């Protein structure tokens, strides 16, 4: 039956971005000139009357010697503005935004686009600004598709970058590719994306990255080792669960970070079935696991001097005669038992197994899980900010700083002690979906499985998906958290 479902060709092609000296002639067939809002600098010649260089605003200029030309606004030059400008630049030159056409493509080959600053207009003020521009350029070219028609290839972009900021640009491109990987895995339709497919695709995507070991554990291994939460959630599907374990262990590393990502490849809600409205979006319920896969590739590519293990428990939460039920008691890897109240609270069930496994077998210095866990967090924080829970102020500050550095904002939510007793069960050790504020009690449930290990929980139910495109983010899976995880691990070396 799987042959009836269309699978994307991955990875999604991205623009090729190379640095050139400011003012160099890169022989491009399309030229994009970036302008900042300024009262002190004259607009470039030919600027349409009334056009304002707000972030991402586009104006078409008359072609010059056959080359397409556009102005793209960079606003006041904030990081957000530079990301918007980069995304708009690559989209307009690719013919994906009006006005625009695919200039310079030869046959099936890509167009060559040069991106530089208008005379007299200041570029980014620091490496972070240049990194934001590069992030926008690369991720603005990402266009996930399962269409039958072959899309035009993404352009080759020559970005005018001062030599002092080229390292920042190159690093930003590595992090942006991690986001693109996460988007691809999360956005793939679930007809094609079984737990086994996800695991094999992760293996394939990391095969070219030196130093990352990949282990895929099947349902038999999970049963032998007591992963009751993963098996219960995955038991209702004809496509059995998996555990993906990724390891980056550079020589001399003295610190060990374990990243755990929720990998629900589709979520019907199980017997506690979801309403139809919005269920199609549940293909992205593996966004946490996708972020972990993307992050591991970037961590290895950057040769971060920290041992990092990624765990992705993978399951499809389906409805059948073998599905787990409200009222069941499940035994997890660490021996704890959970009373099931709602089969649609499946993410915490699979995470509990993986967290317990990490504590018992991997000796982490810090443990971080990331998951599209609760609709409550989306209600509380909206769709552009992730929820952050942490067992210490220092850990919360480190994670927040990593998010600030990568344009992925987090808001700390308390692990409210007053609700901790709500997690207790009269039938089992804990109950899976206690009453109370949804995001908080879910985090308190997970905390029961981390022991004394410093732990952060990232709830990305809101920002993992996008319905209203903005800056470098298109509709669909966003890849949110992948860059934060890379930055956090890099900062953990000290």
Question: Hey, which residues are catalytic here?
Answer: 274, 348
DSSP per-residue codes, 166-202: HHHHHHHHHHHHHHHHHHHHHHS-TTT--HHHHHHHH
Which residues on neighbouring strands pair with residue 313, listed in sequence order? Answer: 243
Tell me the C-alpha distance between 142 and 8, whole Å: 13
Q: Is the dihedral of CA 491, 303, 209, 351 positive or negative?
A: negative
- Evaluate whether 459 touches 410 at the Cβ level (below 8 Å): no
Tell me the C-alpha distance between 32 and 119, whole Å: 13
Tell me the C-alpha distance between 216 and 204, whole Å: 12
CA distances from 78 to 17, 123, 141, 469, 478 (A): 21, 11, 21, 19, 21
Q: Is the dihedral of CA 53, 481, 375, 233 positive or negative?
A: positive
* Number of separate helices (H) and strands (E) present in the chain: 12, 20
Tell me the C-alpha distance between 9 and 468, whole Å: 25
Tell me the C-alpha distance between 387 and 370, whole Å: 10
User: ∠460-291-225 over CA atoms, to 5°?
Assistant: 100
Tell me the C-alpha distance between 215 and 37, whole Å: 51
DSSP helix/strand/coil, 103: coil
Tell me the C-alpha distance between 491 and 404, whole Å: 13
CA distances from 402 to 7, 182, 208, 397, 407 (A): 34, 18, 26, 9, 9
């Amino acid at each position: 039956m799987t042959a009836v479902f269309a699978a994307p060709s991955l990875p999604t092609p991205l623009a090729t971005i190379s640095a050139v000296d400011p003012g160099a002639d890169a022989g491009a067939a399309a030229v994009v000139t970036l302008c900042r809002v300024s009262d002190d600098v004259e607009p470039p010649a030919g600027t349409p009357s009334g056009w304002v260089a707000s972030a991402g605003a586009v104006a078409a200029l008359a072609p010059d010697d056959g080359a397409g030309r556009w102005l793209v606004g960079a606003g006041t030059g904030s990081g957000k503005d530079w990301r918007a400008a980069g995304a708009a630049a690559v989209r307009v030159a690719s013919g994906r935004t009006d006005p625009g056409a695919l200039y310079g493509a030869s046959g099936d080959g890509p167009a060559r686009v040069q991106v530089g600053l208008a005379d007299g207009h200041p570029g980014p003020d620091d490496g972070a600004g240049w990194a934001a521009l590069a992030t926008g350029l690369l991720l603005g070219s990402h266009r996930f598709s399962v269409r039958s028609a072959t899309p035009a290839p993404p352009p080759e972009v020559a970005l005018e970058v001062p030599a002092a900021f080229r390292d920042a640009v190159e690093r930003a491109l590595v992090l942006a590719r991690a986001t693109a990987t996460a988007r691809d895995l999360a956005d793939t339709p679930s007809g094609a994306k079984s737990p086994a497919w996800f695991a094999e695709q992760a293996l394939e995507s990391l095969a070219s990255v030196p130093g990352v070991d990949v282990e895929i554990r099947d349902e038999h291994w999970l049963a032998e080792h007591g992963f009751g939460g993963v098996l219960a959630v995955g038991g209702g599907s004809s496509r059995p669960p998996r555990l993906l374990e990724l390891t980056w262990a550079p020589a001399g590393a003295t610190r060990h970070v374990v990243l755990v990502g929720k990998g629900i490849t589709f979520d019907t809600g199980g017997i506690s079935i979801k309403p139809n409205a919005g269920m199609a979006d549940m293909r992205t319920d593996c966004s946490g696991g996708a972020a972990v896969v993307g992050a591991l590739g970037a961590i290895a590519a950057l040769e971060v001097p920290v041992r990092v293990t990624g765990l992705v428990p993978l399951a499809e939460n389906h409805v059948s005669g073998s599905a787990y039920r409200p009222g069941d008691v499940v035994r997890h890897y660490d021996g704890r038992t959970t009373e099931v109240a709602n089969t649609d609270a499946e993410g915490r069930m699979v995470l509990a197994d993986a967290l317990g496994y990490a504590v018992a077998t991997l000796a982490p210095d810090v443990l971080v899980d990331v998951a599209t866990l609760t609709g409550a967090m989306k209600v509380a924080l909206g769709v552009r900010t992730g929820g952050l829970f942490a067992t210490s102020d220092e850990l919360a500050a480190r994670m927040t700083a990593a998010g600030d550095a990568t344009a992925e904002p987090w808001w700390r939510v308390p692990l409210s002690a007053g609700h901790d007793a709500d997690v207790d069960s009269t039938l089992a050790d804990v109950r899976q979906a206690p009453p109370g504020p949804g995001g908080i009690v879910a985090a308190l449930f997970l905390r029961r499985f981390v022991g004394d290990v410093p732990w952060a929980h990232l709830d990305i139910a809101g920002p993992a998906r996008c319905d209203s495109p903005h800056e470098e983010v298109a509709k669909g899976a966003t890849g949110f958290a992948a860059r934060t995880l890379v930055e956090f691990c890099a900062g953990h070396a000290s």
